[in-house]
Structure 1
Amino acid sequence: MDKVFFIGIVIGLISRLIMLNLDQKQYPTHPNVLVSQMVLAFVASSLGALLVPALIERSYTSITFLSLAAEQFRQVRENRRNTLQNLEDSQLVKRGNSFIEEIARTYEVRNYMCIVTSFLTVGMYYLIVSEFKLSSNISIAISTLSGLILAFILRKMLKRKSIGDIADVSVVEIAFVDDVVMKVGDLSGITNVGLKKDRERFISKGVGIEIIPKDNSYTNASILYDLGQRQAIAYNLYSRLGVYREGNEPAFVPVPRRYPKNESIMIAFVPMEKDIDKVVEAVKSCPILSSSKGRYLSLKNYKIDKKGSA
């Protein structure tokens, strides 16, 4: 029992580590306190590992510890949300409430993953020993492998799609109409830029971005319509490439606008380094938020460039 219990904890910790690596890729500037995450993973894994022998001994009252753990993990989510919201005022480009809620929810769900993987590892061990009468070492090997397989399955299931999966990203020209009205690609009226030096900075250092829904799909376009998703794209650009502005220069805050002709999104962005490939990659790598999905379901069979159904 002692050996499989510790193996269950280790598998739970490994599952958290592989998800921690994924989180850092999807949320590159997300504050990450490794020690606190691993301590929470240890607690969650211990609960999962202890649950199996408790059920075998018919100690059903021990299940109440799961409710206490769930409450604690919800508190972790609340604390993470508050931390990120407190940092908003110091950001040159805001994350937005939708992006903050997505990150906080991610922190909560990852702890449940530790419980599931450690529970399966220990449960598989007891099942093999009792039903198939295999030796302890063989049972431990099989249960360990099962736990690792589940960890990677959950990693794949919980991995979020990115903007690159639902949209094409291209670079377009930034220009000015009537001296002060910004035009990005074919969309005019993004914003007004009154100072000549600001317009010159946009022309020399700025990058115009067009995000076009793939397959002319309203399903993909509806994700880009979401204001929280647009703000997440703008923040992802800022977090990966920086933004060439001071806090008192509102003209350089990226403002994503919808282009009704093809339902694309236009953004004028001034990165610290004008690298076209990095800009495109930053947009494509932005995770799709849960809050932006599931809209315009009645239009799922329609194409953007057609009046009839597909």
Structure 2
Amino acid sequence: MDKVFLVAVGIGILSRIIMLNTDQRQYPAQPNILLSQLVLAFVASSLGALLVPALRDRAYTSITFLSLAAEQFRQVRENRRDSLQNLEDIQLVKRGEAFIEEIARTYEIRNYMCIITSLSTIGLYYLIIEELKIAKNTSLMISSIIGLALTLILKKLLKRESIGDIADVEIVKISFVDECIMKVGDLKGITNIGLKSDRERYLSRGIGIEIIPKDKDYTNAGILFDSGQRQTIVYNLYSRLGLYREHDEPAFVPLPRRNPKKESLIIAFIPMEKDEQKIIEAVKSCPVLASAKGKNLSLENYKIGKKGSV
């Protein structure tokens, strides 16, 4: 019991560590958040590993611990949401409510992954011993391998799309027409920049970004035009490359705008380091929000720039 319990808990924690790699890339976190997630992974894995032996001993009341765990993990989700919302006012670029909810939901779901993998590992161990009559060490090895395989399967299932999966990203020129009207690519009227010094900063340090839906697909375009998704893209740029502005400089707040000619998204951004390749990678790595999907399902058989169904 002790050996298989430790193995099951270890696999549960390992599953969370594997997913932490994704979390760190998409949601930059502090060291204390990392520690709290590992502690929660241990708790969740322990609950999953204890459930099967308890049920074998006919301790059916142990199921109530799962409901308590679910309630606790929902509380973790709420606490994470509240923490991020409290930080919004001090951000140069806000995450937005949609992105905050996506992060909070992810923190909750990943804990359930620990329960599933540890429970499956120890459950398979007893199943193999009792049904196939295989030696304990061999059964432990087989169940551990299956548990690790389940971890990789869950990782693949839980992996979300990124902007790079649904759109192409291009760098376009920033210019000004009629003296102070910003033009990015072939879209003018982005905003009005009155001060000459502000216009010079855009021209010298700014980078124009155009995000074009792949396959001329309206479904992909609908994701880009979701207000929460737009804010997430801008925040992802800010979190990775910084933003060359102060709180009292509203002229440099990134404003995503729709280009009706291509149904693309246009952004003028001033990073701390003007590196076009890093800009493209930052946009492509931005996660696609669950709340942004399914907005244009009625147009899924239509292509941008073409009339009628395809």
Give the TM-score normalised by the residue count of structure 1. 0.98
Mapped to 1, the partners of 2:29 and 2:50 lie a distance apart of 35
Q: Which residue of 2 aligns with 1:19?
A: 19
Q: Give the C-alpha shift of residue 31 in structure 1.
A: 6.9
Q: How many residues align?
A: 310
Q: Which residue of 2 aligns with 1:70?
A: 70
Task: Give CA deviations for 1:205-254 in whole Å, capped at 9, x if unaligned.
Answer: 10000000000001111100100000000000000000110110011010
Q: Which residue of 1 aligns with 2:33?
A: 33
Task: State the SS of the aligned residue for 1:127.
Answer: helix
Kept in 2, the 8 Å contact 1:175–1:184? The answer is: yes
Gaps of 5+ in 2: none
Q: Which residue of 1 aligns with 2:257?
A: 257
Q: Percent identity?
A: 71
Q: Give the C-alpha shift of residue 57 in structure 1.
A: 2.3
Which residue identity lines up with residue 155 of structure 2 in the other structure?
Answer: R
Q: Which residue of 2 aligns with 1:88?
A: 88
Q: Give the C-alpha shift of residue 34 in structure 1.
A: 2.2
**How large is the Cα RMSD of the aligned pairs?**
1.0
Q: Give the C-alpha shift of residue 58 in structure 1.
A: 2.5
Q: Give the C-alpha shift of residue 176 in structure 1.
A: 0.9
Mapped to 2, the partners of 1:15 and 1:29 lie a distance apart of 18
Kept in 2, the 8 Å contact 1:228–1:292? The answer is: yes
1:191 lines up with 2:191 in the alignment: yes
Q: Give the C-alpha shift of residue 25 in structure 1.
A: 1.1
Kept in 2, the 8 Å contact 1:19–1:110? The answer is: yes
Q: How does 1:153-172 map to 2 (within 5 A)?
A: 153-172=153-172
Mapped to 2, the partners of 1:296 and 1:31 lie a distance apart of 39
Q: How does 1:26-65 map to 2 (within 5 A)?
A: 26-29=26-29, 33-65=33-65
Task: Give CA deviations for 1:270-291 in whole Å, capped at 9, x if unaligned.
Answer: 0011111111111111010111
Q: Which residue of 2 aligns with 1:152?
A: 152
Task: Give CA deviations for 1:65-121 in whole Å, capped at 9, x if unaligned.
Answer: 101000000000000001111111111011101111111111000100000000000
Mapped to 1, the partners of 2:32 and 2:257 lie a distance apart of 32
Q: How does 1:158-307 map to 2 (within 5 A)?
A: 158-307=158-307
Kept in 2, the 8 Å contact 1:169–1:210? The answer is: yes
Mapped to 2, the partners of 1:303 and 1:40 lie a distance apart of 46
Task: State the SS of the aligned residue for 1:134.
Answer: coil
Q: How does 1:119-158 map to 2 (within 5 A)?
A: 119-158=119-158
Kept in 2, the 8 Å contact 1:29–1:239? The answer is: no
Task: State the SS of the aligned residue for 1:212.
Answer: strand
Mapped to 2, the partners of 1:308 and 1:29 lie a distance apart of 46
List structure 1 runs of 4+ shifted beyond 6 angstroms. none
Q: Which region of structure 1 is more displaced relative to structure 2, 23-32 or 256-265?
A: 23-32
Kept in 2, the 8 Å contact 1:24–1:30? The answer is: no
Q: Go from structure 1 to structure 2 and tell me whether the alpha carbon gap of 1:29 and 1:3 turns closer, same or farther (over 3 Å shift).
A: closer
Mapped to 2, the partners of 1:278 and 1:190 lie a distance apart of 23
Task: Give CA deviations for 1:181-208 in whole Å, capped at 9, x if unaligned.
Answer: 1111111111111100000000111000
Q: Give the C-alpha shift of residue 29 in structure 1.
A: 4.8
Task: State the SS of the aligned residue for 1:277.
Answer: helix
Q: Give the C-alpha shift of residue 26 in structure 1.
A: 1.5
Mapped to 2, the partners of 1:153 and 1:30 lie a distance apart of 28
Mapped to 2, the partners of 1:100 and 1:173 lie a distance apart of 32
Kept in 2, the 8 Å contact 1:237–1:282? The answer is: yes
Which residue identity lines up with residue 131 of structure 1 in the other structure?
Answer: E
Task: State the SS of the aligned residue for 1:294.
Answer: coil
Task: State the SS of the aligned residue for 1:243.
Answer: coil
Kept in 2, the 8 Å contact 1:244–1:272? The answer is: yes
Q: Give the C-alpha shift of residue 155 in structure 1.
A: 1.0
Q: Which residue of 1 aligns with 2:7?
A: 7
Kept in 2, the 8 Å contact 1:207–1:270? The answer is: yes
Q: Which region of structure 1 is more displaced relative to structure 2, 17-26 or 70-79?
A: 17-26
Which residue identity lines up with residue 127 of structure 1 in the other structure?
Answer: L
Task: Give CA deviations for 1:157-178 in whole Å, capped at 9, x if unaligned.
Answer: 1111110000000011111111
Mapped to 2, the partners of 1:184 and 1:192 lie a distance apart of 12
Gaps of 5+ in 1: none
Task: State the SS of the aligned residue for 2:247.
Answer: coil
